[in-house]
Amino acid sequence: MALNGFLEFFQKGKTFRPKKPFASGTIRYSLHKQAQASLQSGINLRQVVRLPQGENLNDWLAVHVVDFFNRINLIYGTVSEFCNESTCPTMSGGSRYEYLWADGDLYKKPTALSAQKYIEHLMDWIESQINNEAVFPVSTDVPFPKNFAAISRKILTRLFRVFVHVYIHHFDRLVSIGAEAHVNACYKHFYYFVQEFDMISAKELEPLQEMTSRICKDKDSV
């Protein structure tokens, strides 16, 4: 019953915010479909995150940043009604980790926010980056900015913090709606990707280190 409720949630297209699509027929759309297929059961996720032969690294990064943004929006959407000022007054991952928000605009200095506010600001910020054609070019004729890898690292590092908060503070909700296996698959895909391209520091990954060692067991192969 719980699994049916979870699938129904996703099938209704209920998202935390509108999805960012890729134009059909483009190289990035093709790469996007390839990335989507990676969540099929039985596929070695450690292998599928590797850059396809002959493809551009920035295209591959862009596709995954957008896909992870959409997927993590959906995951947070499943717990968002239980994540508010009273239940989660800080953006934390247990008692050892607290994340402060700064965006150089509204919040010029790192500021303590509730998890809900932090994630709202985070998703707004990421969406503004993705919709900025100077950062995420729509046409493959337009080059990516020279600092695109650094921007991607920052986005993925901050998205990881959503995983931290959801796993540590809202895991019971994921289990109650039958979402655990799906979220674990999304997390594994995300983890193997950031490891493959060295997108998140080891220190940032520490909060979920124990869980990661337990579920991320896909063997590497040549």
User: Is 17 or 171 the better-scoring residue by pLDDT?
Assistant: 171
Percent of the chain whose predicted confidence (pLDDT) is above 70: 80
The residue assigned the tokens 């280190």 is 209
pLDDT digit string (tens) for 113-139?
A: 999 999 999 999 999 999 999 999 887
pLDDT digit string (tens) for 60-75?
A: 999 899 999 999 998 9
- Enter the tokens of residue 219: 């063997």
User: Per-residue pLDDT averaged across 99-114, rounded?
Assistant: 95
- The residue among 119, 110, 133, 202 whose CA lies nearest residue 162 is 119
In a domain, residue 222? The reply is: no
DSSP single-letter state for residue 111: B
In a domain, residue 19? The reply is: no
Please name the residues in contact with 215: beta carbons below 8 A apart, sequence gap of 6 or more. 184, 187, 188
In a domain, residue 127? The reply is: yes
Domain coverage including residue 118: 1-13+24-216
The binding site comprises: 83, 88, 165, 170
pLDDT digit string (tens) for 15-61?
A: 445 455 555 545 454 555 555 555 555 678 888 899 988 888 999 99
User: Per-residue pLDDT averaged across 110-114, rounded?
Assistant: 97
User: Does residue 31 contact residue 52 with C-beta atoms inside 8 Å?
Assistant: yes
Please name the residues in contact with 122: beta carbons below 8 A apart, sequence gap of 6 or more. 101, 158, 159, 161, 162
In a domain, residue 221? The reply is: no
In a domain, residue 167? The reply is: yes
Please name the residues in contact with 104: beta carbons below 8 A apart, sequence gap of 6 or more. none
pTM as predicted: 0.83
What is the chain's length? 222
Instruction: Tell me the C-alpha distance between 7 and 74, whole Å.
Output: 12
Instruction: Tell me the C-alpha distance between 173 and 167, whole Å.
Output: 10
Please name the residues in contact with 74: beta carbons below 8 A apart, sequence gap of 6 or more. 10, 14, 15, 16
In a domain, residue 18? The reply is: no
Domains in the chain: how many in total? 1
The binding site for Zn(2+) comprises: 83, 88, 165, 170
CA angle, residues 149, 215, 162, in degrees to nearest 5: 50
Phi, psi of 111 (to 5 degrees): -130, 135
Q: What per-residue confidence (pLDDT) applies to 90?
A: 97
What DSSP string runs through 180-222? Answer: HHHHHHHHHHHHHHHHHTT-S-HHHHGGGHHHHHHH--PPP--
Average pLDDT, the chain: 84
Percent of the chain whose predicted confidence (pLDDT) is above 90: 60
Q: What per-residue confidence (pLDDT) applies to 37?
A: 53
Q: What per-residue confidence (pLDDT) applies to 46?
A: 85
In a domain, residue 98? The reply is: yes
In a domain, residue 63? The reply is: yes
CATH for 71: 1.20.140.30
